[in-house]
Amino acid sequence: MRKFWGMGLAAIVLAGLAVVPGKAAITGDYLEVRNADVWTGPCFASSQVDLTGKRAILAWKINHGTWQGTDLSGLAVVAVVKASATLGDPYRNPLPSESVMILDHKATAGQRKALMSFARARAGKLLGHVVQIDTAPVSLEVGAGADRGTDVLKAGNLAMVKTRPLCQGDIMCGNETVYYPPLTKTNQYMPAFSRIDEFDGKGLGAVWDNRNARSAFVGKFSE
């Protein structure tokens, strides 16, 4: 499978890059997936808007650092969101939204509180109404080098996401671009193809198993 980096996509990806501050208080990896294409053309986006794209999984893996004085190094947190409209659409309000938080089972009580605070600070009002909090083993494996964009998120038996880099075969109309930017602040990001996007938890009144879409972002954060 030949990876595709067209001029338009390459420019957008590079625009998302930023130098990570040398003294950032907290740094790590970020993964996002939605149930609608985020790298797409206007014609495909128009066919999906307000019909899909109302669900998302956001994941942060803290590689190093503290949040509000609490060390979170090596921990991860996942937010599963169900919104009222297509996320990222400038003409529709996704609020009110509901979310389920999945906290790393290795975290102490104090660290779980800090993980919640961190995720809410990153995602803002999108996580304003948390309907359920779960704990589970959470891992986020991030591809590097030739495997960049090949990420795997596992949150116990509650959620799973697997991505791969975009390739030539993912072009459908020739006008693809990052139609919807990431839902949270990142220091660098690139769109990716989601091979698996699963949620099998409680709290949202819905579960899903989405496959094979141009609906993910992989990136890094620091603050």
Measured distance CA(6)–CA(8) in Å, rounded:
6
Strand partners, 79: 58, 101
* CA torsion through residues 215, 154, 103, 218, sign: negative
pLDDT at position 4 is 43
pLDDT at position 146 is 86
Tokens of 218: 């992989």
First CA to last CA distance, the chain: 36
pLDDT at position 24 is 74
**Do 211 and 198 contact (CB within 8 A), yes or no?**
no
Beta strands in 108-182 (DSSP E): 130-136, 138-141, 152-155, 159-164, 177-178
DSSP state of 187: S
Tokens 């938890």 found at: 201
Beta pairing class for 98-104 and 70-71: unpaired
pLDDT at position 1 is 44
Amino acid making up residue 6: G
* CA torsion through residues 72, 120, 122, 35, sign: positive
pLDDT at position 13 is 44
Tokens of 48: 């999906």
Per-residue pLDDT of the chain (223 residues; tens, 9 = 90+): 444 433 344 444 434 444 444 567 999 999 999 999 999 999 889 999 999 999 999 999 999 999 999 999 999 999 999 999 999 999 999 999 999 999 999 999 999 999 999 999 999 999 999 999 999 999 999 999 989 999 999 999 999 999 999 999 999 999 999 999 999 999 999 999 999 999 999 999 999 999 999 999 999 999 8
Other CB atoms within 10 A of residue 121 CB: 14
Amino acid making up residue 7: M
Question: What's this model's pTM, rounded to 2 decimal places?
Answer: 0.90
**Do 29 and 149 contact (CB within 8 A), yes or no?**
no
Per DSSP, helices labelled H in the chain are: 7-15, 42-48, 109-123
Q: Which helix (H) or strand (E) holds 57?
A: strand 55-67
pLDDT at position 25 is 93
Measured distance CA(125)–CA(6) in Å, rounded:
34
Closest CA to 215 of 179, 172, 174: 179
